[in-house]
């Protein structure tokens, strides 16, 4: 495994970071607790020291399982990244910015972006309890909340830093202007944003800005929620309440299938999986600090960790980039 310093912080994180969205189950057609905890243990055993989660993932379940999984580990050797600002339990009393309705076992649950000072403090106390720890290595705002001034949200962050409950602070899904506003109050360590072979928008404005400001980029959805594994084009069937039934519809699936077929030849020659090839390519892109990779069982976790066991030559990267350029 390779470890990288995150932005302007002192955090040293594993380049492949365990992404814990799917194990929460919500929007992913459920989860298996035993498999999920095994996947976390397998990740740690193979050098993945960093785990990224959020209260929204499984409405607290993801954080709870992580807390259970790491309680036997040396806490100083595991970096916990979590978030705040998505409310599902009605505690916002109708305040905040309505986001969408999440499917929770057939029940529609309204989700709000809400980052008032009071709510931030409340959420962090709940996360600390679920994670069974007294500090969070990197706290992140999950999504911008247009109903709360950024300065108010940052006041809460300042308090948490002073209390020693968080080591560093990052944003997620922020644009350049929003980062600049937040920086007036708090040092911004990182921005967690969507980035993949099929979604490279951040290369235009965000990456140049974060490089200049020494702000790390945490890439999420590098596999486009499993689409780039290629399984979807074989015999993999999604359950009815899996959000990816709709999510995959935004892509030209025939072009994606062709891309995977082109990359398969290179993956085969290197004795690696398509998933590993896609993840490794992502880790090598300019401005990308760490890459989130989800795993729902130990086998997937080990495969993700082994992504860093090989490299890609300049000619191999050229081959990959040419194949990507054909996808509109």
Please give the positions annotated as active site.
Answer: 57
pLDDT of residue 236: 64
* Secondary structure (DSSP) of 57-100: TTTTHHHHHHHHHHTTS-GGG-EEEEEE-EE-SSTTTT-SEEEE
Total domains in the fold of the chain: 1
Q: Is 204 exposed, middle or buried (0-12, 13-18, 19+ CB in 10 A)?
A: exposed
Q: Which residues pair with 122 in a beta bridge?
A: none
Residue 236 CB burial class (10 angstroms; 0-12, 13-18, ≥19): exposed
**pLDDT for the residue 33:** 84
The DSSP bridge pattern shows strands 97-104 and 107-113 to be antiparallel
Tens place of pLDDT per residue across the chain (328 aa):
999 999 999 999 999 999 998 887 665 556 778 998 999 999 999 999 999 999 999 999 999 999 999 998 999 999 999 999 999 998 999 899 999 998 877 788 999 999 999 999 999 999 999 999 999 999 999 999 999 999 999 999 999 999 999 999 999 999 999 999 999 999 999 999 999 999 999 999 999 999 999 999 999 999 988 788 887 766 666 676 676 767 777 888 889 889 999 999 999 999 999 999 999 999 999 999 999 999 989 999 999 999 999 999 999 999 999 999 998 7
Tell whether the torsion through CA atoms of 35, 36, 41 and 46 is positive or negative: positive
pLDDT of res. 161: 97
How many C-beta atoms surround the C-beta of residue 116 within 10 A?
20
Who contacts 262 (Cβ-Cβ below 8 Å, separation ≥6)? 323
Predicted pLDDT at 198: 95
User: Residue 206 and residue 218: Cα distance in Å, rounded?
Assistant: 12
What ranges in 71-199 are assigned the alpha helix state H? 117-131, 150-162, 176-182
The CATH number of residue 53's host domain is 3.20.20.100
Q: CA–CA separation, 68 vs 316, rounded Å? A: 41
pLDDT, residue 29, reads: 56
Q: Which domain holds residue 141?
A: 3-325
pLDDT at 245: 66
CA distance 249 to 208: 30
pLDDT at 23: 85
């Amino acid at each position: 495994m390779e470890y990288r310093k995150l932005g302007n912080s002192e955090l040293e994180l594993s380049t492949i970071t365990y992404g814990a969205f799917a194990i929460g189950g919500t929007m992913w057609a459920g989860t298996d607790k035993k498999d999920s905890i095994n996947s976390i243990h397998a990740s740690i055993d193979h050098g993945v020291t960093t785990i990224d989660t959020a209260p929204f993932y499984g409405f607290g379940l993801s954080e709870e399982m992580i807390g259970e999984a790491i309680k036997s580990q040396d806490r100083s050797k595991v970096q916990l990244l979590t978030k705040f600002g998505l409310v599902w339990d009605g505690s916002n009393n109708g305040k905040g910015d309505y986001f969408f309705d999440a499917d929770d076992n057939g029940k529609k649950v309204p989700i709000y972006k809400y980052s008032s000072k009071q709510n931030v403090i409340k959420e962090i106390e709940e996360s600390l309890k679920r994670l069974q720890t007294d500090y969070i290595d990197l706290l992140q705002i999950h999504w911008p909340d247009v109903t709360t001034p950024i300065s108010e949200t940052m006041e809460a962050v300042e308090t948490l830093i002073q209390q020693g409950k968080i080591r560093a602070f990052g944003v997620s899904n922020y644009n350049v202007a929003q980062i600049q506003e937040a920086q007036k109050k708090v040092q911004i360590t990182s921005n967690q944003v969507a980035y993949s072979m099929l979604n490279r928008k951040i290369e235009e404005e965000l990456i140049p800005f974060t490089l200049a400001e020494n702000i790390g980029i945490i890439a999420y959805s590098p596999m486009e929620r499993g689409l780039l594994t290629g399984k979807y084009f074989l015999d993999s069937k999604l359950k009815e309440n899996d959000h990816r039934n709709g999510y995959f519809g935004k892509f030209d699936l025939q072009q994606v299938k062709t891309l995977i077929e082109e990359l398969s030849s290179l993956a085969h020659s290197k004795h690696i999986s398509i998933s590993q090839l896609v993840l490794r390519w992502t880790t090598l892109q300019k401005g990308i600090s760490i890459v989130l990779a989800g795993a729902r069982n130990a086998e997937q976790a080990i495969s993700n960790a082994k992504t860093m066991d090989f490299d890609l030559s300049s000619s191999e990267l050229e081959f990959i980039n040419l194949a990507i350029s054909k996808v509109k």
